[in-house]
Structure 1
Amino acid sequence: MQAPLGGGVLAPAAPGALGVPIDPTAAQTYLGALRVWVNQRRADLDAVDAAVLRLSPDEQTAITTDLTVALTFWKAINDRYVLLETVFDGGRVGPTEAERLSTLIHGRLGGSATESLSVPGTGTLAVTLPEACRLLDSLTRTLQARASLAPGVAEASQRITVLRQTLERVRDQLPLVPVGAQRDEAAESLARLDRRLVDLTERARRGADTGGIIGPLEIDAAVLERDLIVAAAERAEAQKDRARQAQRVEELDARAEAIRALERACVAAIDPAPHLAIPNVRALGPVPQAPAELAAYREKLDRVGRALDLAHGQYAAGLAERDEIVGLVGAVTAMAATAHLSAEARSDLDDLRARLDDVLGTMPVRLQRARALAAAFQSYVEAVTRPRPRKARP
């Protein structure tokens, strides 16, 4: 007969909520319970790992992936527990530490409170510490059943009690599922599990052997709970992603307006001016709800961003070239003003400078002519200010 989770230890209820500082006494109680739970889950998974070695190669292959996922969850939870203990620092908790504890408990697992948990074969999963603990409880129950662990000390009534608790947690999650086919399917699965649990309970009361019935029921209940938690986490992540893309639309729209203003300034200031299409991000429509449509929408925003980068660079470069010519003429003029020049050279330079002033003062500035005149002006100044070589004495 398969036992429930080791020692009947389930994940402790997390105190507080995100953004609400944790009371030090509640934090101490929670960390103590979490320490026991983390150690017990590790012992359970080690027992499963040892049991897997006694299975056939095909059975080992089937269970190894789920065991790897469970161990990944355990490590992420244990890492977060270590951080919590470090911040708690034996009870030396001020307002800053209390708020940090809340963020570590109710923020998402990963390398930081804003990252997702990477799960082998599953990708990333945005779950909080309490959600990850419940998921690991479900995974561990499933693995124990599949590995056929039978300590013999567990009673059917204990396992039925654990099953009832699992189904109640599933029942609490149903209202969180959006109305539609997904909720209907989950409700139907729960109803089937309820009927099977009622049948199991009646059999146990009559003294029948329930060993062959309870294991599959535990697996199915754990899988349903896990799927609902994963789906809830995915919905939360999708909602945040939609909010991020909506914010990105606003940013791209504001940037596009600024680049259009830059385009008008560039067309008015130089000739020839670049001519690039500036996309209208609003033409993409509202941010979609469906994950597949949201992914396609995100790619379109990426293309809009690249187009804006190109347009910004071209128009800014055009204005920068005009400013470079103006700066060069100013620097060369200053160099000529300090040089000892003949009247003829001074007259030539004044003529060239007058032509440059005329070109640079006419809007739009004809860049090709301005570049040529500026180059000629610079070359003439360099020529007339260059020291002449002394003639050698005979």
Structure 2
Amino acid sequence: MTMTANGSTPVAPGRLGEAIDPGELLSYLTGLGEWVDRQRKELDRLGAAALASQEPDSYTSDIVLAETLWEATRKRRESLESVWDSGRVDTVARQKMSQLIWGRLDSGGGAELVSLVEAVRLADALVSQLTTRLSLDPRAAGTTARIVGLRAELERSRDLAASDPDSAARVSTLRNRLEALAEKAGRGADVTGPLGQLVQDSAHLERDLIVASSQKRDLARDARKAADDAAAAERREPVLRALAERCRREIVDPPKLAIPDVSKLGPVPQSRAALDSWIARLALVNRAFEAVEDAYAGQLRERAELRYRLSGYHAKAESSGRSASPTVAAGYLEAKEAVDTTPCDLRLARFYVEQYQFLTRDLPSASPPRQGQEGR
């Protein structure tokens, strides 16, 4: 089983959208199952300790968040097991499993902001911090051990904040506070109170950074998809303009719909609010494209259908002998001229084709003479 260095947390295989190797998926599912069971026991232990503490309310928010992350992780594991289907997974199923591992969770309470991988990491950090604050870990009971643990925690935060100067500055401030406390503790000073506050501040920072990292990744992914969608719309635009021009040439009184200019949307924004607004405007452009295509292609398609129907009616009239009728022949010429004339008046063409359909209908057969009338 693939594990982290501490032997407790399974390392997620592959990446988003990849058909992950079945062996790696099995190893991850096994490790994740063990993690879920172990985390449940830890949370029960921490919850009982928090209730027994002198200030139980101070732990409530962290306990609730940890429980929310655990529940979201448990549900996502069940979804993974369902798709896994005892190892009967094809390429599509393994790609879906990568989406479940690396995509956002679908639970509430804040867990939907992160992926399964990040939820496990954040839950581990919360449990570690709660264990330290509640003094349940003998290794963390001493000031020196707590300082060592905080240094490791801030190092993780420093890695997460590497690309964000503001967050890096927050990490640096906490590191300076920690080193100052470590120096005081080395001189024999009691730093229990300030150190406890620093533990909370560091925990909140790491949590913020994990969520921010997830949001940044999602923003980059959404921006790439928006750029791809805009490129597809730009490729579609000249096709629709050619379609509209053809309809105007071939149809009398064609639709009068404007075709949006995709380039007027401008470049893809890189901030969440601006990107969401930009994507909404692109969606309006695509809906306008759908309306344009339906309107212009619909009229050209109706003309083609009228020609096809007329051909079928004419073949039927030929086989039945009805085409020999001067009235039927004249009706055919009128209908054919109506559908072949460019630009085509669809209302007139529709009328003549329906009229020709009526003229080529089967005539009723003569009724046999009734009894008593024979021989009269």
What TM-score bracket applies, with the shorter chain setting the length? 0.7 to 0.9
Tell me whether 252-261 or 66-75 shows the greater mean CA deviation: 66-75
Counterpart of 2:367? 389
Counterpart of 2:145? 158
1:356 maps to 2:369: no
How many residue pairs end up in the alignment? 361
Counterpart of 2:124? 137
Q: How many Å apart are 1:205 and its aligned residue? A: 2.7
Trace 1:178-327 onto structure 2 (pairs within 5 A): 183=165, 185-327=166-308
User: 359, 362, 373: which one pairs with 2:352?
Assistant: 373
Structure 2 CA distance for partners of 1:133 and 1:332, relative to 1, 3 Å: closer
- Helix, strand or coil for the counterpart of 1:338? helix
User: 117, 120, 141: which one pairs with 2:105?
Assistant: 117
Trace 1:80-119 onto structure 2 (pairs within 5 A): 112-113=100-101, 115-119=103-107
Q: Is the 8 A contact 1:70 1:139 kept in 2?
A: yes
Q: Is the 8 A contact 2:76 2:116 kept in 1?
A: no
Q: Is the 8 A contact 1:141 1:219 kept in 2?
A: no
Relative contact order, CA 8 A, sep 6+: which one is greater?
1
User: 121, 127, 149: which one pairs with 2:134?
Assistant: 149
Q: Is the 8 A contact 1:45 1:71 kept in 2?
A: yes
- Helix, strand or coil for the counterpart of 2:106? strand
Distance 1:31 1:357 in 2: 68
- After superposition, what is the alpha-carbon deviation per residue over 1:288-333, rounded to whole angstroms, capped at 9, x for unaligned? 1111110100110111111111111111221222122212222221
Q: How many Å apart are 1:199 and its aligned residue? A: 3.0
User: 71, 74, 78: which one pairs with 2:70?
Assistant: 74
Q: Is the 8 A contact 2:251 2:346 kept in 1?
A: yes
Counterpart of 1:46? 44
Distance 1:291 1:352 in 2: 64
Counterpart of 1:4? none
Q: Is the 8 A contact 1:9 1:37 kept in 2?
A: no
Tell me whether 280-289 or 263-272 shows the greater mean CA deviation: 263-272
Any gaps of 5 or more consecutive residues in structure 2?
Answer: none
Distance 2:50 2:150 in 1: 24
Distance 1:15 1:351 in 2: 76
- After superposition, what is the alpha-carbon deviation per residue over 1:345-369, rounded to whole angstroms, capped at 9, x for unaligned? x111111212222222211111122
Q: Kindly, what percent of the aligned residue pairs are identical?
A: 30
Letter in structure 2 aligned against 1:278: I
Q: Is the 8 A contact 2:76 2:105 kept in 1?
A: no
Tell me whether 151-160 or 261-270 shows the greater mean CA deviation: 151-160
- Helix, strand or coil for the counterpart of 1:176? coil
Letter in structure 1 aligned against 2:260: P
TM-score after normalising by structure 1: 0.76
Distance 1:209 1:20 in 2: 54
Letter in structure 2 aligned against 1:379: F
Distance 2:213 2:66 in 1: 19
Distance 1:247 1:348 in 2: 58
Letter in structure 2 aligned against 1:150: S
Q: Is the 8 A contact 2:49 2:134 kept in 1?
A: yes
Structure 2 CA distance for partners of 1:335 and 1:40, relative to 1, 3 Å: closer
- Helix, strand or coil for the counterpart of 2:109? coil
Counterpart of 2:315? 334
Letter in structure 2 aligned against 1:359: A
Q: Is the 8 A contact 2:269 2:275 kept in 1?
A: yes
